[in-house]
């Protein structure tokens, strides 16, 4: 019996491999499993090679996983192009298209897999459905048959999917699926490859991705304006919002560029509305000047940056965590903008709500660093319990405070009541130029110091928000791991496995990346002799940022890889074991 199954499939664009992955995850959701589906494409808009990975379990899945349990190869050239994204190991079952004319003992892989099966997929599709397009349903049949996955739900899904296409096409695809099942039944795999049935009596789960949850969270948080410009992999946030935001009394602008997008957001916020933009690397660079304006004018806004490989156009369709420096430091002047990062698809909802809350409470731009993986992979998640979230509204001046309204009054908290056009008595001049308490332009050094104090110190309470940090493991461990963003799920699995193996280790996952919460790290470091920071960037940006602010343990190392180079739980586990050995022998 398998408890954890990772399927990787690759083919050329027309093979419908991604669509097979989607059908499979829908069926698995129906049956009460948890799963993660990631898709990966060549950089062509259409056609070209495509692949997907699907990891399924009966408990929540933390990450897309490492080595494949099952590799499905429609043609070898395309499969190999994905390299480390679809790793085959000695325990993998490899299923490939017989038509590729590669002998089972001559497959082009460095390792010898557990089982290798050449299947006449194209032939089965032609015979059953009369079209090669049904190949992907043959594959679904093979998977359902050999691994006992969602047999009935896949069939129902296919019926739904093809219902509109007419009886002939529907029946053809049904026959292709049946042909795959039949082939699997007649040619069983050696050993027990059947997957654990799901827990009984589970509630309705949904299949969603980070971009979609971001949009629904924004509407839930009360976002009334979106301004932005299309860019992969952030565009879907705008696409979801443009459908629904009007229904909530809001509006949306697809602007002429990213600068105009965030400028309009600043305008909407000045007008008293909760407002956001969403972008990816190149767009984040363009937005930095206007974000500085929002910092100085103390106007709330949320900027979601879905990280992709960079710099410049970089790897637009691949995940990376290399925009942390840009998010933290791309503003000129003495500026701190809070940065939040979700650790999973599900987490994107709460993080987006939190971003609006922090923006409104502290009158500041907030950057959410999502990443391509969280944004675009499909997860089966439990429905979001919205009652868990409180919404924060900005502090408005009282009638008394509007008698001689002082927009930037120096208060103890650093937060001053914020009026908006339409409020009688609340008129003031917002500006990018330094101001006095009334908002009048002012270039005195003393006032500049006071205003910098105000703008920076008002954010200090954030550093005490321990709920924005996940802590797991043995509190007295001498070995520790830190990770963030989508990679945190990998570190989490590695730490759990290590602990199950009896190793003493603990894990810290910051969701608040900036300002750096020194005390939280210091407390974490107290028991540590060795600590590893795991992240998806070449320089190891969080590793470096922590060192700027906090005294780190004697051995403070980094496991960092550029985007599109998977970091697997095994990679992390090996480093934890090595650190444990070193600590024991020291």
Residue 262 C-beta: closest distance to another protein, Å: 8
Question: Which one among 41, 82, 356, 428 touches another protein, defined by CB under 8 A?
Answer: 428
Question: Which one among 206, 431, 582, 584 touches another protein, defined by CB under 8 A?
Answer: 431
- Closest CB to another protein among 299 and 481? 299
Contact 2, 56 (CB under 8 A): no
Question: Which one among 422, 500, 554, 585 touches another protein, defined by CB under 8 A?
Answer: 422
Q: At what angle do helices 210-221 and 235-244 cross, to 10 degrees?
A: 40
Residues 6+ apart with CB under 8 A from 382: 203, 205, 346
Q: How is residue 245 annotated by DSSP? A: G
Q: For 181, list phi and psi in degrees, rounded to 5.
A: -60, -45
At 115 the three-state DSSP class reads strand
Residues 29, 207: Cα–Cα separation, whole Å = 7
Residues 294, 301: Cα–Cα separation, whole Å = 8
353 touches another protein by CB under 8 A: no
Letters for 251-270 (x = contact with another protein by CB under 8 A, - = none) are x-x-xxx-xxx-xxxxxxxx
Letters for 206-235 (x = contact with another protein by CB under 8 A, - = none) are ----------------x-xx-x--------
According to CB under 8 A, which residues from 37 to 76 bind another protein?
none
Question: Which one among 440, 449, 518, 519 touches another protein, defined by CB under 8 A?
Answer: 440
Residue 159, CA distances (Å) to 526, 532, 539 in order: 58, 49, 49
195 touches another protein by CB under 8 A: no
Residues 6+ apart with CB under 8 A from 414: 453, 454, 455, 457, 458
Residues 440, 49: Cα–Cα separation, whole Å = 59
Residue 393 C-beta: closest distance to another protein, Å: 11
441 touches another protein by CB under 8 A: yes
102 touches another protein by CB under 8 A: no
Letters for 119-138 (x = contact with another protein by CB under 8 A, - = none) are --------------------
Task: Tell me whether the omega of the peptide bond preceding residue 563 falls within 30 degrees of 0, making it cis.
Answer: no
Question: Which one among 44, 194, 197, 246 touches another protein, defined by CB under 8 A?
Answer: 246
- Closest CB to another protein among 71 and 355? 355
424 touches another protein by CB under 8 A: yes
- Closest CB to another protein among 254 and 562? 254
According to CB under 8 A, which residues from 290 to 319 bind another protein?
290, 292-293, 297
Residues 6+ apart with CB under 8 A from 381: 34, 60, 205, 206, 207, 208, 345, 346
Q: Other CB atoms closer than 10 Å to residue 54's CB: what's the count?
A: 28
- Closest CB to another protein among 191 and 422? 422
Binding site for another protein (CB under 8 A): 222, 224-225, 227, 246-251, 253, 255-257, 259-261, 263-273, 275, 289-290, 292-293, 297, 419-433, 440-441
């Amino acid at each position: 019996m398998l408890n954890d199954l990772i399927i990787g499939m690759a083919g050329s664009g027309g093979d419908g491999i991604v669509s097979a992955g989607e059908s499979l995850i829908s069926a698995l959701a129906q049956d009460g499993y948890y799963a993660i589906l990631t898709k990966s494409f060549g950089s062509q808009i259409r056609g070209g090679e495509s692949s997907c990975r699907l990891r399924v379990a009966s408990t929540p899945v933390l990450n897309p996983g490492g080595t494949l349990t099952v590799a499905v190869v429609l043609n070898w050239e395309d499969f190999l192009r994905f390299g480390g994204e679809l790793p085959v190991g000695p325990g993998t079952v490899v299923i490939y298209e017989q038509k590729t004319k590669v002998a089972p003992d001559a497959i082009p892989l460095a390792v010898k897999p557990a089982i290798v099966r050449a299947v006449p997929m194209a032939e089965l599709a032609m015979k059953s459905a009369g079209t090669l397009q049904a190949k992907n349903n043959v594959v679904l049949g093979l998977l359902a048959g050999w691994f006992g996955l969602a047999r009935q739900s896949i069939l129902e899904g296919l019926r739904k999917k093809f219902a509109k296409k007419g009886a002939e096409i529907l029946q053809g695809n049904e026959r292709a699926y049946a042909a795959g099942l039949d082939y699997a039944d007649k040619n069983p795999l050696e050993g027990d490859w059947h997957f654990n049935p799901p827990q009984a009596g589970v509630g309705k789960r949904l299949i969603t991705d980070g971009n979609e949850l971001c949009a629904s969270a924004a509407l839930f948080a009360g976002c009334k304006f979106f301004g932005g410009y299309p860019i992969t992999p952030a565009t879907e946030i705008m696409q979801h919002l443009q459908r629904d935001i009007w229904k909530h009394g809001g509006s949306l602008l697809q602007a002429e560029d990213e600068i105009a997008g965030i400028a309009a957001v600043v305008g909407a916020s000045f007008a008293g509305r909760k407002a956001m933009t969403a972008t990816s690397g190149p767009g984040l660079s363009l937005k930095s000047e206007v974000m500085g304006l929002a910092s100085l004018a103390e106007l709330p806004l949320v900027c979601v940056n879905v990280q992709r490989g960079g710099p410049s156009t970089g790897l637009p369709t691949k995940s990376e965590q290399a925009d942390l420096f840009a998010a933290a430091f791309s503003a000129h002047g003495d500026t701190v903008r809070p940065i939040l990062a979700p650790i999973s698809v599900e987490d994107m909802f709460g993080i987006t709500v939190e971003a609006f809350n922090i923006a409104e409470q502290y009158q500041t731009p907030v950057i959410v660093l999502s990443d391509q993986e969280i944004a675009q992979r499909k997860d089966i998640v439990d429905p979001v319990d919205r009652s868990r979230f409180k919404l924060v509204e900005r502090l408005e001046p009282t009638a008394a405070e509007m008698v001689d309204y002082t927009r930037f009054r120096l208060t103890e908290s650093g937060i001053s009541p914020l009026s908006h056009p339409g409020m009688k008595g609340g008129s003031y001049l917002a500006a990018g130029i330094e101001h006095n308490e009334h908002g009048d332009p002012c270039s005195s050094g003393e006032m500049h110091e006071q205003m910098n104090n105000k703008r920076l110190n008002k954010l200090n309470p954030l550093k005490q928000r321990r709920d924005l940090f996940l802590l797991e493991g043995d509190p007295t461990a001498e070995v520790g791991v830190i990770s963030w963003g989508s990679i945190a799920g990998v570190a989490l699995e590695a730490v759990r496995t290590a602990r199950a193996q009896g190793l003493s280790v603990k894990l810290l996952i910051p969701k608040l990346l900036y300002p750096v919460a020194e005390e939280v790290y210091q407390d974490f470091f107290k028991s540590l002799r060795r600590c590893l920071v795991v992240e998806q960037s070449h320089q190891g940006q969080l590793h470096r940022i922590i060192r700027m602010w906090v005294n780190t343990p004697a051995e403070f190392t980094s496991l960092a890889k550029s985007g599109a180079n998977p970091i697997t739980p095994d990679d992390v586990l090996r480093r934890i074991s090595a650190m444990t050995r070193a600590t024991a022998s020291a």
